[in-house]
Structure 1
Amino acid sequence: MKNIRQIIIIGLCTLTSTMQAQHVSHRSFAHYNKRVAQFEREGGITSQSIVMLGNSLTENGKDWSQRLGNSHVINRGIIGDNTVGMTERLCQITPHQPRAIFLMAGINNMVNNAPVINVAQQVISLIEAIREQTPQTKLFVESLLPINEKNGRWRTLAGRTNDIPLTNMYIRAYCESHDIVFIDLFSKMVKPGTNVLREELSADGLHITEAGYAIWENELKKHIANL
């Protein structure tokens, strides 16, 4: 009888902890706060979910379940988000122990001339947090996408074209040494022989068009099929 009571108490504590964990106390810019509140209202993540975690590139993909042909795929991207914001809102995701997480992070960490190694380490720290909080979830780490500085719109990323593949190199090396799948989207979207995003894949040099998403979709479908 004593053992049964202990099991019930442990179960209630775990349930309470999970429910509390879904509230994000971190407050950032207005769109971040709005999206976090929306995610809390919607819920919907289960042990069968495949979570797309990322920034504007992920959010702008909109209905990833339709793109990938899998009803369990959930979009958890936030325009302008970085590794700090994503780490803070893991509590909406990891307590549910989802089936898989596809992570794209890092481009918004490159502002203010942040050194490549620092950006890579920030992404790696996020990866480690995910692995620690939900070790049985299959984690897929997507490379940073290339940019095209031609139109000069994104001044905070000025001069970072060649830093992106270096950042990817560090992240990839970490993933390979820790048995984490690294998905190379970067090489699929650059002009041959350069590190520059192909012009037909973006209207502003950073965010991708439907042609870019088609490339992304095709790469992810290879992995979705094996889940």
Structure 2
Amino acid sequence: MKKYTWILLFTVLFCSSAIAQEVKWDSTYRPKTYKAQVEAFKAAPHTKKDVVFLGNSITAGTDWSKLLDLPQARNRGISGDISFGVLERLEEVIAGKPAKVFLLIGINDISRNIPDSLVIGNIRKIVDRIQKGSKRTKIYVYTLLPVNSSFGKFKNHYNKDEHILWVNDQIRKLTSKQVTVIDIYPDFLDAEHRLRAELTKDGLHPNAAGYEIFKAKLKSGPYLK
């Protein structure tokens, strides 16, 4: 009996440990401002000449029209958004059949423990839906930025570098005739493989100098031509 008791005890402890280590995630999360912002986007539709910047707070955090001297730029960034949220509101983007879409999404998914395979899967779905719904739209997908934990402000986003690296590696494989990858990750990286402190205000979001890096990247390449 003692033998079977120990086996039972080991099984219970093992299962309890496995349950405790199970990482929970939620694909239904939407930021508080999500619905209001989606309605605002619908109320200000874009056209076939427009360039749409699609993503989360990093996209929402600047005026792309002023930054790039690009009057046809349209900001479709929502602070805190995840890839599932972008998929949910993607039809508004597709309906306008914009000339270009610049996509940056995924870091909030990683912070919420959404599996990496789902993050890249959703990015592929976003690309695929744009390709099918707006065949003339050119799609540009950024790699994710690094983070810098020394700021201590966004702890859920920190210390997940291996996830960022894996997702970025998969993003770099997305290139096709209609899709161009903009590998901006190295431009923000310091010698310790962190987000360069002088380019961020909190270890996650770019500051004015950080957005100048975006500007230089886009202006130096064929992306805006």
**TM-score > 0.5 by shorter chain:** yes
Shift of 1:225: 3.9
Report the counterpart of residue 52 of structure 1 in structure 2: 53
Confirm or deny: 8 A CA contact 1:140 1:182 kept in the other structure: yes
1:211 to 205, 209, 212: 209
Shift of 1:224: 4.0
Q: Deviations over 1:7-39 (max 9, x none)?
A: xxxxxxxxxxxxxxxxxxx99432111211211
Confirm or deny: 8 A CA contact 2:147 2:158 kept in the other structure: no
Match of 2:80, SS state, is: coil
Q: Which runs of 5+ in 2 are unaligned?
A: 1-27
Confirm or deny: 8 A CA contact 1:117 1:170 kept in the other structure: no
Q: Deviations over 1:51-101 (max 9, x none)?
A: 00110000011x211111121111111101111111111221212211100
Report the counterpart of residue 153 of structure 1 in structure 2: 153
Confirm or deny: 8 A CA contact 2:142 2:183 kept in the other structure: yes
Report the counterpart of residue 85 of structure 1 in structure 2: 85
Query: Using a 3 Å threshold, how does the CA distance of structure 1 residues 225 and 84 change in structure 2: closer, same or farther?
Result: closer
Report the counterpart of residue 5 of structure 1 in structure 2: none
Shift of 1:179: 5.3
Query: Using a 3 Å threshold, how does the CA distance of structure 1 residues 142 and 49 change in structure 2: closer, same or farther?
Result: same
Confirm or deny: 8 A CA contact 1:165 1:195 kept in the other structure: no
Query: Using a 3 Å threshold, how does the CA distance of structure 1 residues 133 and 218 change in structure 2: closer, same or farther?
Result: same
1:197 to 195, 198, 212: 195
Report the counterpart of residue 23 of structure 2 in structure 1: none
Shift of 1:206: 0.3
Distance (Å, rounded) in 2 between the aligned partners of 1:189 and 1:40: 33
Q: Which runs of 5+ in 1 are unaligned?
A: 1-25
* Matched-pair identity in %: 32
Query: Using a 3 Å threshold, how does the CA distance of structure 1 residues 210 and 135 change in structure 2: closer, same or farther?
Result: same
Distance (Å, rounded) in 2 between the aligned partners of 1:165 and 1:112: 16
Match of 1:156, SS state, is: coil
Query: Using a 3 Å threshold, how does the CA distance of structure 1 residues 195 and 132 change in structure 2: closer, same or farther?
Result: farther
Larger radius of gyration: 2
Q: Name the count of aligned residue pairs.
A: 197
Report the counterpart of residue 10 of structure 1 in structure 2: none
Q: Does 1:126 align with 2:126?
A: yes
Report the counterpart of residue 180 of structure 1 in structure 2: 179
Distance (Å, rounded) in 1 between the aligned partners of 2:200 and 2:29: 31
Confirm or deny: 8 A CA contact 2:64 2:74 kept in the other structure: yes
Report the counterpart of residue 137 of structure 1 in structure 2: 137
Distance (Å, rounded) in 1 between the aligned partners of 2:33 and 2:70: 27
Query: Using a 3 Å threshold, how does the CA distance of structure 1 residues 95 and 117 change in structure 2: closer, same or farther?
Result: same
Aligned-residue RMSD, C-alpha: 1.9
Confirm or deny: 8 A CA contact 1:49 1:100 kept in the other structure: yes
Shift of 1:126: 1.7
Distance (Å, rounded) in 1 between the aligned partners of 2:77 and 2:112: 22
Confirm or deny: 8 A CA contact 1:49 1:73 kept in the other structure: yes
Distance (Å, rounded) in 2 between the aligned partners of 1:30 and 1:203: 23
